[in-house]
Amino acid sequence: MLSTFAADTNLERVGESRYSTTVNKNWFVIVGPNGGLIAALLLKAAVAECADHLSVRTITIHYLNPAVEGDIELSVEIDKAGRTVTFARVTMSQGDRIVATAMVLLAAQREVPFEWQQRLMPEVLGVDESYVVESDEPQVPIRDRWEQRWATGIPALPETNKDGVFRAGGWIRLQDPAPYDAAVLAAMSDAWVPAVMVHVDRGLHTPTLELTIHFRTDPQQLDLGDDEFCLAVFTQETGIDGYLDESGEIWSPDGRLLVMCRQLGLVMSMPEKANHPPMAFVQAGRSVARANGAKSV
């Protein structure tokens, strides 16, 4: 049987370079499906049109309009198809509305005389020391799709956020495991709670306008089990003129850099009646800290 992720990102070919699927509410956030699911669908359409020996290296998505529940169509254009590098453009639409567009670069694995990785995996709490969220916030379907264990950026635990930067992240995996591939990592790149939402004492909504994902290691080349946690850390250091920027990294549990991502998002105030209560963080079944500086007992 297909996992929830595989089933919800399964594409049907409906014509030359055209695909369709149905968006359901499994991956919804405040308005429509999460941007990570949109990224995964765009990516899978591009992969379906390209040679099997190519791996996704980068994708840049522009989110034009929120998707709604129902059928959705994707069309792919190949700008250049080389032996080692292919450039593709993907358009996602519902009826006469364009939902999102993407530029995708796929490239072959290359034999090189040496490799290096000077970027270091962040030092965070381990999986068994990390925290889960326990709160009375309104149900957001996407939260049931991922298992998240907070290991950095918990406001009421200064040792997890010593520099005061708006940071959020920790260990993450699909609740219903699926093999790690570029589509799973694309979805994971926009799956965490935006850091600003737990570091300020007000209701905010931060829809994504543009997301770029660089795939630094093909997870299918690693011995990475479906049920293993990856480490995902996101920072939002500036929010100016009503827009924020976010940078993120996703690491394999053994310290291989899988993804680097960056996005531009809106900063929107939520109506007062829609403000969510603070999130309580729980370790080993015991409430120890609450977001926005308010401690729980």
Query: CA 67 from chain center: how many Å?
Result: 17
User: What is the predicted pLDDT for the residue at 140?
Assistant: 83
Q: What is the pLDDT of residue 212?
A: 98
**pLDDT for the residue numbered 135:** 66
Structural domains in the chain plus CATH codes: 4-110+125-293 (2.40.160.210)
Q: Look at residue 264 in the predicted model and tell me its pLDDT.
A: 98
pLDDT digits (tens, 9 = 90+) for 55-88: 999 999 999 999 999 999 999 999 999 889 999 9
pLDDT of residue 294: 32
3-state secondary structure 116-165: CCCCCCCCCCCHHHCEEEECCCCCCHHHHCEEEEEEECCCCCHHHCCCCC
Residues 247-289 have pLDDT tens digits of 999 999 999 999 999 999 999 887 664 555 667 888 855 545 5
Question: CA Rg, the chain, in Å?
Answer: 19
Task: Point out the residues of the chain with pLDDT beneath 70.
Answer: 135-138, 271-278, 284-297
